[in-house]
Chains A and B, each alone.
Chain A
Amino acid sequence: MTTTTTLHRATAAASVPALRPERKVRPSVFGTVVLLVGALYCLMPVAWVLVASSKSAGELFSTFTFLPSTHLLDNIGELSAYRGGLYWRWMANTALYAGVGAAVSVLVSSMAGYALAKYRFAGKTLVFNLILAGVLVPGVVLAVPQYLLLAEVGLTNTYWSVLLPSLISPYGIYLCRIYAGASVPDELLEAARTDGASEWRTFSRIAVPLMGPGLVTVFLFQFVGIWNNFMLPYIMLGNDRLYPITVGLNGLLNQGASQPAMYTSVITGALLSIVPLALLFLTLQRYWKVDLAAGSVKA
């Protein structure tokens, strides 16, 4: 795999016109300011969550916004104690929905994308155009029709009701098709077939490794998408033991007029819920780098 990629890159680089001699580039003040503002915009809310989750209920809205306090562990304890540790069950549910959903989605997307890129069959353009159209339809719009469909077969309010709609991702299929088209050379597939490899073997041993960075991208997209999804589980689920974190925490804020909203628990819960996502990004980061580099050479 390494040799082919290098080869591929070498040919790609050769076709690029020779670069002009390097000039000393002064950093633009304007650009730096824009980027700093952008960074601030993205990091401020995270900093707020971090600080707010260390405050007790009494301090939350009365002390200075960015003044940290010492109650983080108390808040985590209180959140864990809420109805017998229900929060951790929500966390496990979310991991199940996102993990299984993203993994199966990658499998489906890679197979579909590969087939669309590398096989010729009747109706291929139609299928691909339909999938492209699917990319344009936001998932939120589909939640209610999906609810009615699943209600027909009595599947609402089960794990399946959230998992099944997450398995097919038009965007993932689209991305895989593009990626398979760009990174899997036809000659390689011909060679594999000549050597007597079955179609499945060709796909799993030749195409999938080449598509690796693209598949990681699809996995992360789907994982984050399902992890943060609110509308679908909100509509599908009535049993709070099946809730993901998003729907569960929303419930803590909407307790009816006669109950106080549990702001501290919600903020602490939100903070804890981004920890697995951050870890996932850090571990899969190197694949992203490969992906970005590969893309930049080809462009």
Chain B
Amino acid sequence: MRLHTGIRVAAAVAATALLATACSSGSGDSGDDTADGSGGKVELTFWTWAPGMEEAVAVWNEANPDIQVTVNKQDGGDPAVTKLLTAIQAGSGAPDLFQTEYQKIPTLVSEDALADIADVLPDGTAERFAEGTWQSVTLGGDAVYGVPQDSGPMQFYYREDVFQQYGLSVPTTWEQYAQVAEQLHTADPSKYLGTFSANDAGWFTGLTQQAGASWWGIDGDAWSVDIESAPVQKVAEYWGGLVEKGVIDNKPMYTPEWNAALNDGSQVGWLSAIWAPGVLQGNAPDTAGKWKMAPMPQWEEGDDATGNWGGSATSVTSQSTHKAEAAKFIAWLNASQEGVNLLVSEGGLYPADIPSQAEALSSPPEFFSNQADFYTLAAETAKGVQPFTYGPNVNVAYSAYNDEFGKAAEAKQASLFLDAVTAMQATTVDDLENQGFTVTK
């Protein structure tokens, strides 16, 4: 039996038809209107995972019929960055607007994923932000790669009721923190003042930032890596000691086990950032009204230093064909009273925009209604955020952190915590050199 010509023709026709429909619907579905005519309606897509963005965008869309924004909610953090970089390399498929975590900006800039919007931002935008925050979107140069949305100054969160029950005082120095951790764990071996999380590199970065570390540095055209530095070693040694003694837990955060421990009161404290109330509300709903926030314990009595954990800017991607409109939207969202009010009321974010803070943050978060001065105290601590520079391979350093500190925390040996720092330094430097960056040593 030979294949009849009728079938062959039919197959060819079917294949062509499929291809034709595929192509024609493609140009219709891709969203970007090819006619960039002046005065026409512009549609922008916005990849973000911050809460409340859809509600905030709805307000903007109502008032700006010519610039319509669509929110595409993404998986938080690394997955979204990977997806964006894939789309950038493929040449199509990237959104117009993207939520950029501060530590990811150097990576995204070195991959040409972000557009410079210095020319299209309204005058005076820079003056609305703290110098350190603004520097993270300019990387110290003239270009502007986004507008800061929120920030995450770190504080110490603790269970006030448990502290009273065991007669503990709130630690103001790291020395006291270690003592309180020991007192608590001795009084009730099921309870811990905190945990050393080998899964959260951002958290550890914040702790070392408080101690005065800056993991990367820019030296002309060259990068330097200072992970193996005195402040980082100090922090690693301190936590290694606590873990080895067993007075601090060694389980990672954000696991079901940790959630349960927060909820049932076996985790009594959490070194976290300003967005902690939202996480506690979600993970430990039974503990409402029992938590209090205090400034971070200090290395030197009387200091007011802290680090930063989390926080993002909003950027325009290099594939966007509507940079001016996108910048106009970002300026409204992150640097206007109306936008910032929505960030706080709909998303529970701690806005980076300083002039709008007073009005937007007039009452404490719901979960901390027992602490009326929550945001006043937070603003005090935010002033103490230490300067810090992120490099172009944060992902490599962070995964080295997960690997090395994972082993150290598992083994519960203080000496391994220092080895982990050395290994992180080596991995990070090697990767930078392999990528072709000049690295000063």
The answer to whether A238 touches B285, judged by C-beta atoms less than 8 angstroms apart, is no
Residue in contact with B86 in the complex, picked from A57, A147, A200, A255, CB distance below 8 Å:
A147
B231 at the binding interface (Cβ < 8 Å): no
Residues of chain B with a CB closer than 8 A to A238's CB: 45, 47, 72, 74, 83, 87, 93, 95
- Complex: A58 Cα to B256 Cα, angstroms: 11
Q: Quick check: A251 and B202 within 8 Å, CB to CB?
A: no
Chain B residues with CB under 8 A of A250:
75
How far, in angstroms, from A153 to B263 measured CA to CA in the complex?
50
Complex: how many Å from CA A180 to CA B3?
Answer: 16
Contact of A240 among B7, B30, B50, B72 (CB under 8 A): B72
Cβ-defined contact, B1 with A260, below 8 A: no
Closest to A115 in B: B3
Q: Is B254 an interface residue (CB 8 A)?
A: yes
| Contact count band on B | 35 or more
Determine the residue in chain A with the shortest Cβ distance to B8. A121
| Of B7, B26, B83, the contact of A160 (CB 8 Å cutoff) | B26
Is B158 in contact with chain A by the CB < 8 A criterion?
no
B29/A257 in contact, CB under 8 A:
no
Interface size class of A (residues with CB under 8 A): 35 or more
- The closest CB in chain A to the CB of B83 belongs to A238
Task: Please indicate the chain B residues that have their CB under 8 angstroms from the CB of A153 in the complex.
Answer: 22-23, 26
Q: Is there an interface contact between B74 and A156, defined as CB atoms closer than 8 Å?
A: no
Which residues of chain B come closer than 8 Å to A256, judged between CB atoms? 49-50, 76-77, 310
User: Known contacts being A154-B92, A156-B92, is A259 close to B86, with CB within 8 Å?
Assistant: no
A83-B54 contact, Cβ under 8 Å, with A160-B26, A240-B72 = yes
Query: CB distance B283 to A260 under 8 Å?
Result: yes
Given contacts A151-B93, A259-B76, contact A158 B49 (CB under 8 A): no
Task: State whether the Cβ of A262 lies closer than 8 Å to any Cβ in chain B.
Answer: yes
In chain B between 67 and 102, which residues have their CB closer than 8 angstroms to a CB of chain A? Answer: 70, 72-77, 79, 83, 86-87, 90-93, 95
Taking the complex as formed, is B152 at the interface, i.e. its CB lies under 8 A from any CB of chain A?
A: yes
> B441 contacts the other chain (Cβ, under 8 Å)?
no
Is A235 interfacial (CB-CB < 8 Å)?
Answer: yes
From known contacts A119-B3, A157-B30, A263-B256, infer whether A151 and B92 are also in contact, taking CB-CB under 8 Å.
Answer: yes
> Which of B140-148, B273-281, B292-300, B372-380 lies at the interface with chain A?
B273-281
**Pick the contact of A155 from B7, B26, B77, B264 — CB < 8 Å?**
B26
Give the residue of B76, B263, B279, B309 whose beta carbon is less than 8 angstroms from that of A58: B263
| Contact of A199 (CB < 8 Å), options: B7, B152, B282 | B7
CA distance in complex: A151, B90 (Å) = 6
The 7 closest A-B pairs by CB, nearest first: A260-B282, A256-B76, A61-B260, A151-B90, A258-B275, A254-B75, A156-B93
Q: List 14 A-B contacts (CB under 8 A).
A: A60-B260, A119-B3, A151-B92, A153-B22, A154-B30, A156-B90, A240-B73, A251-B74, A254-B77, A255-B75, A256-B50, A258-B275, A262-B282, A263-B259
B residues touching A (Cβ–Cβ < 8 Å)? 1-4, 6-7, 10, 22-23, 25-27, 29-30, 45, 47, 49-51, 54, 70, 72-77, 79, 83, 86-87, 90-93, 95, 152, 200, 202-203, 254, 256-257, 259-260, 263-264, 273, 275, 278-279, 281-286, 309-310
